[in-house]
Chain A
Amino acid sequence: MMLLADPLALDIAHAFAVAGPGHWLGTDDLGRDVLARLLDGTLSTLLVAAVVLVETAIIGIPLGIAAGWHGGWADTLLSKLAEVVLSFPGLLLALALAALVGPGMGNVMVALGVLGWVGFFRITRVQVMALRGQPFLQAAQLAGVPTYEIWWRHVLPNCLGPLLVQALLVAAGTMVAESGLSFLGLGIPAPYPSLGGMLRDGMRDVLVAPALVVWPGVVLFGLTVGMNVLADGLRQRFRPV
Chain B
Amino acid sequence: MLSCWAMMMVMRRVLGMIPTLLLVVGLVFMLIHLVPGDPVAALLGDRATPADQAALRAALGLDQPLFGQFLKFLWGILHGDWGTSMVRGQPVLGLIGERLPATGLLALAAMVVALGLGGVLGVLGARNRTPLARGVAQGVNYATLAMMAAPSFVIGPLLIVLVSVKLNLLPVSGNASWDSLILPALTLGLSLAAVIARMTTASLEEEAHRDYVRTVLAKGAHRGRVLWTHTLRNALLPVVQIIFLQMGMLLTGAVLTEAVFGWPGLGNLLVEALHQRDYPVIQGCLLFIAFTYMVCVLLADVVSALLDPRVRR
Point out residues on A near B: beta carbons under 8 Å: 80-81, 83-85, 87-93, 95-97, 99-101, 172, 176, 179-180, 183-186, 196, 199, 202-203, 206-207, 210, 213-214, 217-218, 220-221, 224-225, 227-229, 232
Contact = CB atoms under 8 A, between A and B. Distances in A.
Nearest to A110: B36
Contacts of A172: 149
Interface stretch (B109-117, B120-128, B151-159, B214-222): B151-159
Contacts of A225: 145-146, 149-150
Given A83-B20, A180-B256, A228-B145, A96 B293 contact: no
A104 B71 CA distance: 33
Contact of A203 (B32, B157, B249, B255): B157
Assign chain B's interface to a size class.
Answer: 35 or more
B34 interface: yes
B166 interface: yes
B15 interface: no
A220 B165 contact: no
5 contacts: A89-B251, A89-B293, A179-B154, A183-B256, A221-B158
Nearest to B256: A180
B161 A199 contact: no
Contacts of B251: 89
A217 B150 CA distance: 10
Contact of A213 (B142, B158, B259, B289): B158
A180 B27 contact: no
Given A92-B255, A179-B153, A225-B149, A87 B286 contact: no
Q: Tell me which of A85, A218, A221 has the highest count of chain B C-beta atoms within 10 A of its own C-beta.
A: A221
Nearest to B166: A210
B282 A183 contact: no
B93 to A, nearest CB: 18
Interface in B124-176: 142, 145-146, 148-151, 153-155, 157-158, 160-161, 164-166, 172
B242 to A, nearest CB: 14
Nearest to A185: B275
Contacts of A93: 27, 286
Contact of B161 (A84, A85, A196, A206): A206
A221 B150 contact: yes
B305 interface: no
A87 B20 contact: yes
Contacts of A217: 154, 157-158, 161
B149 A80 contact: no
Given A93-B286, A95-B274, A203-B260, A224 B150 contact: yes
Contacts of B158: 213-214, 217-218, 221
Nearest to B290: A88
B53 interface: no
B252 A186 contact: no
Given A100-B277, A101-B34, A199-B153, 6 more contacts: A88-B293, A92-B286, A96-B282, A100-B282, A180-B151, A229-B145
B270 to A, nearest CB: 8
B45 to A, nearest CB: 13
B290 A87 contact: yes
B277 to A, nearest CB: 7
B249 A99 contact: no
Given A89-B249, A221-B154, A228-B145, A214 B255 contact: no
A86 to B, nearest CB: 10
Q: Tell me which of A84, A172, A185 has the highest count of chain B C-beta atoms within 10 A of its own C-beta.
A: A84
B172 A87 contact: no
A196 B252 CA distance: 17
A91 B154 contact: no
Contacts of B290: 87-89, 92
A6 B79 CA distance: 56
Nearest to B260: A203
A5 B227 CA distance: 59
B49 to A, nearest CB: 23
Contacts of A179: 151, 153-154
